[in-house]
Amino acid sequence: MKLARYGELGAERPAMIDAAGVARDLSDIVPDIAGTTLTQGGLAELRAVDPSTLPAIPDGTRIGAAIGAVGKMICVGLNFRDHAAESNLAVPEQPVIFMKATTAICGPNDDLRIPRGSEKTDWEVELGVVIGDIARDVSEAEAMSHVAGYVLVHDVSERAFQLEHGGQWVKGKSCDTFGPIGPWLLTADEVDDPQALGMWLEVNGHRYQDGNSREMVFGVATLVSHISRYMTLMPGDIISTGTPAGVGLGQKPPTYLKAGDVIELGIDGLGRQRQTAVQA
């Protein structure tokens, strides 16, 4: 099942995408793609809905972030060996965890705003794991039963803010529009193996990233279990699981985004995004 949100920023409507790719309005069924809608019980109720009975959302309607009311967006650093190598950092022995402010979240095709004073805005295609049922100190064996599904995430980073401004990585991860999510949530039952998904990113038609989730240091089950030891994961929380090699920081010389650049990215089964960089 593919679930999405359509409409202007702050007024998005929940939707189900039918087999023909038509977005169908779920507003009369659920208030949002958020919270209890994402639990096992909530998703079971949506599976019983006949999409043909729902009104179609008009073509051209803005696609919003696939998940609404996200409580936490937790990111995993250096979770691909090749990315750790290009960053000249050791492969971590435990997952490196940091937060991205939820105010960074935006639609998959919204403009990417380069913040004031930025000279090192960078790209990162990532697999996002959306929590369904509450996960509190769960084992790896239990972890996958707490996953509602998966989304495409663009974990945009400002490297100077992240690494040179005297503090936590969150500074370089949380600017407005630094968290495009979607275009849709693909429920977990439709993903045979989250550790076998191709992922790619291009800037102005040049492919910089071309990886696969099988290359993760820590897989989805490990991450859900590990993070739930340190914090309770709630329905709609998102774990962004890391990026493969090919980021701007790793180019020789380093290459960063500038106004007018067009960024396109995708993951198998999770659709694609397209953003234009603009100066904030």
Tens-digit pLDDT profile for residues 14-35: 999 999 999 999 999 999 999 9
What's the full length of the chain, in residues?
Answer: 280
Structure confidence at residue 84 (pLDDT): 85
DSSP 8-state class, residue 221 = H
Residue 88: which domain range? 63-279
The chain-wide mean pLDDT, for the chain, equals 97
pLDDT at 181: 98
pLDDT on residue 265? 99
What CATH number does residue 222 fall under? 3.90.850.10
pLDDT score of 82:
85
Confirm whether 212 is domain-assigned. Answer: yes
Give the pLDDT of residue 168.
Answer: 85
DSSP string, 159-195: HHHHHSSSS-GGGGT-STT-EEB-S-EEEGGG-S-TT
Residue where the block lists tokens 């962004």 = 240
pTM (predicted TM-score) = 0.97
Main-chain phi, psi angles of 158, to 5 degrees: -105, 105
Q: Is residue 87 predicted with pLDDT exceeding 90?
A: no
Start-to-end CA span in the chain (Å): 36
Specify the number of domains making up the chain: 1
Section 157-176 average pLDDT: 94
Q: Predicted confidence band at 89 (pLDDT cuts at 50, 70, 90)? A: confident
- In a domain, residue 108? The reply is yes
Band (pLDDT 50/70/90 cuts) for residue 96 is very high
Residue 1 lies in a domain: no
**Residue 218 tokens, joined:** 């820590």
* Residue 106: predicted pLDDT: 98
Average pLDDT over residues 7-13: 96
Residue 90 above 90 pLDDT? no
Number of H helices, E strands in the chain: 5, 18
Q: pLDDT tens for residues 194-251?
A: 999 999 999 999 999 999 999 999 999 999 999 999 999 999 999 999 999 999 999 9
Residue 188 located in a structural domain: yes
Cα maximum dimension of the chain: 54
pLDDT at residue number 170? 94
Q: Percent of the chain having pLDDT more than 90?
A: 95
Q: Is 205 a member of any domain?
A: yes
Domain contains 14 = no
Structural domain contains residue 15: no
One-character DSSP codes across 114-170: EPTT-S-EE--EEEEEEE-S-BSS--HHHHGGGEEEEEEEE--EEHHHHHSSSS-GG
Strands 271-279 and 112-114: what pairing? parallel
Could you give the 3-state DSSP secondary structure of residue 90? coil
